[in-house]
Amino acid sequence: MSLNVERIVTGPFQENSYVIWQDGSPSCLVIDPGDDPELIIETILGKGLHPIAVVNTHAHLDHIGGVSDLKEKYGIPFYLHPNEKSVLDGYERDCAFFGMTPKVTPTVDHWLNTGELKVGDFLIQCVETPGHTPGGTCLVINDHVFTGDTIFAGSVGRTDLPGGDWNTLCESLVKAMKEIPGDYILHPGHGLHTTLKNEMLKNPFLIPLLKRVNS
Ligand SMILES: [Zn+2]
Ligand SMILES: [Zn+2]
């Protein structure tokens, strides 16, 4: 089945929220609904979709602002990696740091684990990629990968926020390059989509790590 991916850019950090659905089924997942839930709902309505869950790559303030509104409107569960609890708990503090008014901190219904997760008809391979945050996870669905703020087109996630760690991120990037096929489409938390193959050729943060991928 082929996966449809709609990107909705939300909030002051220009964060990518994604609505995804399979051909022939109205069931959709919402990934990282960062802000502007009304824009996300507009997309869902416009495509005639039926949300079944919110699944997040991580819990930074620019990725979770729309979660509570979507949970309330559709009565759907929220999935997050357990190591993101400290990030989620720091949501109001982080909003104050960036001078933003916090939304309602969402409650987590299911904690993600490494490996396979089935949500409705979606089979999600959870590849743990800590470093940007302690529980950052790449979500592999069919031949698409939602990378959160781990990998961007031409860059990688910052590690100077609470819970971030550069060496851990480097280990995760090596692991991602080993485990995720190069031609899968990467959908980052900010900016345009890319592929790992493309990033391994051009991304200045990945190129120095290539020797560790082949060792
Ligand atoms: Zn982030
Ligand atoms: Zn972000």
119-167 pLDDT, tens digit each: 999 999 999 999 999 999 999 999 999 999 999 999 999 999 989 999 9
What percent of the chain has pLDDT above 90? 97
**Confidence (pLDDT) at 215:** 78
Q: Give the pair of three-digit tokens for residue 24.
A: 């022939």
What is the 24 CA–ligand 1 centroid distance (Å)?
Answer: 33
What is the 142 CA–ligand 2 centroid distance (Å)?
Answer: 23
Q: How far apart are CA 123 and CA 104, in angstroms?
A: 29
Measured CA to CA in angstroms, residue 64 lies from 116, 144, 205, 208, 215 at distances of 23, 21, 26, 32, 37
What is the 71 CA–ligand 2 centroid distance (Å)?
Answer: 20
Q: What is the mean pLDDT of residues 191-197?
A: 98
**Confidence (pLDDT) at 113:** 85
Q: Does domain 3-213 have CATH number 3.40.1580.10?
A: no
What is the 85 CA–ligand 1 centroid distance (Å)?
Answer: 14
**Confidence (pLDDT) at 130:** 98
Q: What is the mean pLDDT of residues 21-29?
A: 97
Residue 191 CA: which ligand is closest?
2
Helical packing angle, 67-74 and 37-46, nearest 10°: 40
What is the 63 CA–ligand 2 centroid distance (Å)?
Answer: 6
**Confidence (pLDDT) at 114:** 83
- pTM score of the predicted model: 0.97
Amino acid found at 210: L
pLDDT tens track for 52-97: 999 999 999 999 999 999 999 999 999 999 999 999 999 999 999 9
